[in-house]
C-alpha cells in the first residue's frame, strides 16, 4: 500500500505575508539582541528572503521590477514627485517641530528622538557622501525590491482588482503593501516611523506606473536624504 505524498504550497498572499513576517521577526530579534546589526539584518532579509520562493518558480530579480528598462521614465517621475514633495515636507517639518515645543515634556521622546528645541540653519549631515551611498544601496533598493517589487507583486497576484489612477492600477495590494511597510518599521521600536505610510503610497504608485522599482528606489533614497538634511538643519542631528 502506497501513501500519496501531498505537496504543500502557499497562496500568493500567504507567501507574501510569510516573507514579511519572517523579515519582521528577524529585524525585531536583531533590534532586541544585536541592535547595531539590525540594519544589516534588514538589508539581508529584504534582498534574500524572497529568493526562496522565487527560485522554486525559476524567477529572478527582474521579474519583480529590478530593471533599468524604463529608466528615463523612472527618473522623470521620481524627479517630478520629489519636486512636489520638497516644499510640502518642509512645511510639515516646521509644523511638527513647532508642535513638539507645545507638547508635555514626557510625550516628546515618544514622538521624536531629537527633543523639542529647534532652530533652522541649513546644513548637511556629516559625511553626506556616505549617506548617499547608504540610502541608495543599503536602504532604498533593498526595501523597494522587498516591498514594492516582491510583496506588492505577489499581493497583486492574489488581489488583482483595482482602479487606474494617473496611469497606475491601485487596489488592495497597493494599500496593504503600504500598511505593511509602515508597520514593519515598528520592529525597531520607533513609533514616529509609522509616518512612512504617506511616502509609501507614492513609492507604490511609482512601482505600478513604471513597472520597475528603479524610480521608487531613487525617490525613496531622495526622500530619506532630504529628511536627513532637514534633521541636521532643524535639530543639528546627523
pLDDT surpasses 50 at 6:
no
Question: Has residue 185 been placed in a domain?
Answer: yes
The gap between the terminal CA atoms of the chain, to the nearest Å, is 69
The number of C-alpha atoms within 13 Å of 88 and in the hemisphere containing its C-beta is 8
Question: Has residue 182 been placed in a domain?
Answer: yes
The structure's pTM equals 0.89
Question: Has residue 7 been placed in a domain?
Answer: no
CA–CA gap between residue 91 and residue 103 (Å, rounded): 19
Question: Has residue 3 been placed in a domain?
Answer: no
Please tell me the predicted confidence (pLDDT) of residue 1: 42
Please, are residues 158 and 173 in contact by the beta-carbon 8 Å criterion? yes
Question: Has residue 5 been placed in a domain?
Answer: no
The boundaries of the domain holding residue 226 are 12-235
Please, are residues 227 and 203 in contact by the beta-carbon 8 Å criterion? no
Question: Has residue 118 been placed in a domain?
Answer: yes
CA–CA gap between residue 61 and residue 28 (Å, rounded): 26
Question: Has residue 1 been placed in a domain?
Answer: no
Question: Has residue 130 been placed in a domain?
Answer: yes
Number of domains in the chain: 1
pLDDT tens profile 168-190? 999 999 999 999 999 988 876 66
| 133 C-beta neighbours (distance < 10 Å), count | 10
Amino acid at each position: 500500500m502506497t501513501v500519496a505524498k501531498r505537496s504543500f504550497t502557499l497562496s500568493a498572499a500567504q507567501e507574501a505575508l510569510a516573507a514579511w513576517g519572517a523579515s519582521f521577526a528577524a529585524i525585531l530579534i536583531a533590534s532586541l539582541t544585536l541592535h547595531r546589526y539590525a540594519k544589516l539584518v534588514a538589508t539581508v532579509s529584504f534582498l534574500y528572503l524572497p529568493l526562496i520562493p522565487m527560485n522554486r518558480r525559476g524567477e529572478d530579480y527582474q521579474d519583480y521590477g529590478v530593471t533599468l528598462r524604463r529608466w528615463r521614465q523612472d527618473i522623470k517621475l521620481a524627479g517630478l514627485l520629489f519636486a512636489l514633495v520638497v516644499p510640502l515636507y518642509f512645511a510639515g517639518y516646521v509644523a511638527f517641530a513647532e508642535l513638539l515645543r507645545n507638547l508635555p515634556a514626557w510625550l516628546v521622546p515618544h514622538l521624536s528622538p531629537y527633543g523639542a528645541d529647534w532652530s533652522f540653519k541649513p546644513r548637511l549631515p556629516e559625511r553626506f557622501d556616505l549617506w548617499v551611498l547608504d540610502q541608495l544601496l543599503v536602504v532604498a533598493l533593498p526595501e523597494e525590491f522587498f516591498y514594492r517589487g516582491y510583496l506588492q507583486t505577489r499581493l497583486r497576484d492574489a488581489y488583482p482588482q483595482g482602479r487606474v489612477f494617473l496611469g497606475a492600477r491601485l487596489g488592495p495590494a497597493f494599500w496593504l503593501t503600504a500598511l505593511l511597510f509602515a508597520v514593519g518599521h515598528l520592529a525597531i521600536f520607533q513609533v514616529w516611523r509609522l509616518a512612512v505610510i504617506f511616502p509609501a503610497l507614492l513609492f507604490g504608485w511609482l512601482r505600478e506606473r513604471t513597472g520597475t522599482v528603479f524610480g521608487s528606489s531613487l525617490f525613496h533614497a531622495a526622500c530619506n536624504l532630504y529628511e536627513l538634511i532637514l534633521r541636521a538643519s532643524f535639530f543639528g542631528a546627523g
